[in-house]
């Protein structure tokens, strides 16, 4: 039986939940889903300039889990930028 998922602390509530390439209609774009957890990890690590251990403490998770969240977020954003996909921020 897997461990129960911890309740992670999220301190961001974005008003804008879609980003897309300019000039391309949404109807023809593939969408990459970025979770609110991934967005919060990116915000703490890249905008607040916190190291991973501090980010993990603020989100109430382990450093290794935070690393996996960041890696997933980077892959999704890179895929969207390189392949011209839209990004949707989803709240789970």
Instruction: Establish if 4 belongs to a structural domain.
Output: no
Structural domains of the chain, count: 1
Give per-residue pLDDT as tens, 16-27: 999 999 999 999
Any idea what the CATH number is for the domain that residue 65 is in? 1.10.10
Instruction: Establish if 10 belongs to a structural domain.
Output: no
Residue 8 has pLDDT above 90, yes or no: no
Measure Cα distances from 42 to 24, 35, 48, 87 in Å. 26, 11, 9, 14
Instruction: Establish if 13 belongs to a structural domain.
Output: no
- pTM for the model stands at 0.90
- Range(s) of the domain holding residue 56: 18-90
Residue 6 has pLDDT above 80, yes or no: no
- Is 29:86 a contact under the CB 8 Å cutoff? yes
Instruction: Establish if 33 belongs to a structural domain.
Output: yes
Going 59 to 55 to 65 to 60, the CA torsion angle's sign is negative
Contacts of 65 (CB under 8 A, 6+ apart): 56
Give per-residue pLDDT as tens, 41-92: 999 999 999 999 999 999 999 999 999 999 999 999 999 999 999 999 998 7
User: According to the model, what pLDDT value does residue 2 have?
Assistant: 75
């Amino acid at each position: 039986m897997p461990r129960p998922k911890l309740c992670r602390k999220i301190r961001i509530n974005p008003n804008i939940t879609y980003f897309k390439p300019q000039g391309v209609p949404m109807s023809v774009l593939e969408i990459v889903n970025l979770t609110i957890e991934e967005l919060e990890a990116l915000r703490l690590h890249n905008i607040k300039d916190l190291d991973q251990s501090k980010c993990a403490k603020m989100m109430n998770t382990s450093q290794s889990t935070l690393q996996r969240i960041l890696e997933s977020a980077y892959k999704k954003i890179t895929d969207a930028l390189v392949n011209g996909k839209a990004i949707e921020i989803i709240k789970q």
